[in-house]
């Protein structure tokens, strides 16, 4: 097995983990209870969500580094970090590099969400959807053999990436429809105290 093939498999593994991570995140966002609903087990979805992100980032880093061990690809570490002048598919690899840096941003900001505060962290966490889009586009457009061959959208690896993308899109649509069915948030207004009746002025004695 060549270094390029190992890199391709690592990319698919990172894609799988990222897809799982997004799906778990969407499940958590609708407050799905695995004890009350299927599979009727106590599952720490928060912990699984975190670890799939950590492992996905680690595998995503390994994915391009393996190419540097190929004698035919002729990629250097600079080509991995800044692939604008990469020997093969430079702009497609730029998308991959952006996806990797974006994933690192999502993971790091999530790790420090306590310091950032929930509101700020949640705003930054929406970057995860852009990260997934970059990963899927990179996976679909890249030539796994690095030979600049035309894209075969019916190739087994491409079909797998396309299927992951489709699953995430369908899940996002269901999440959006769930959000539309939720009642509007209640507005808590401060209670207005009724005015206290004033006491009648004392009357003069003898009247």
pLDDT tens digits, one per residue of 85-94: 999 999 999 9
Give the H or E element holding residue 172.
Answer: helix 156-181
Residue 207 has pLDDT above 60, yes or no: no
Question: How large a percentage of the chain has pLDDT more than 70?
Answer: 89
Q: What pTM did the predictor assign?
A: 0.84
Within 10 Å of residue 75's Cβ, how many Cβ atoms? Answer: 24
**What's the chain's average pLDDT?**
90
pLDDT bracket for residue 157 (50, 70, 90): very high
Per residue in 54-65, pLDDT (tens digit) is: 999 999 999 999
pLDDT of residue 197: 62
């Amino acid at each position: 097995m060549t270094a390029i093939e190992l890199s391709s498999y690592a990319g698919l593994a990172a894609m799988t983990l990222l897809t799982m991570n997004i799906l778990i995140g969407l499940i958590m966002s609708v407050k799905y209870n695995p004890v009350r609903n299927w599979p009727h087990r106590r599952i720490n979805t928060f912990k699984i969500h975190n670890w799939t992100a950590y492992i996905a980032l680690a595998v995503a880093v390994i994915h391009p580094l393996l190419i540097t061990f190929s004698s035919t690809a002729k990629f250097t570490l600079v080509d991995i970090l800044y692939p604008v002048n990469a020997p093969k598919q430079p702009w497609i690899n730029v998308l991959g590099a952006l996806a990797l840096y974006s994933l690192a941003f999502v993971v790091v900001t999530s790790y420090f969400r306590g310091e950032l505060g929930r509101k700020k962290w949640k705003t930054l966490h929406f970057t995860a959807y852009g990260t997934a889009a970059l990963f899927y586009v990179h996976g679909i457009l890249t030539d796994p053999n690095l030979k600049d061959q035309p894209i075969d959208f019916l190739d087994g690896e491409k079909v797998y990436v396309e299927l992951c993308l489709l699953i995430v899109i369908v899940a996002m649509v269901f999440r959006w429809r769930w959000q539309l069915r939720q009642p509007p948030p209640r507005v808590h207004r401060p209670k207005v105290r009724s005015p206290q009746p004033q006491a009648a002025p004392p009357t003069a004695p003898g009247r």
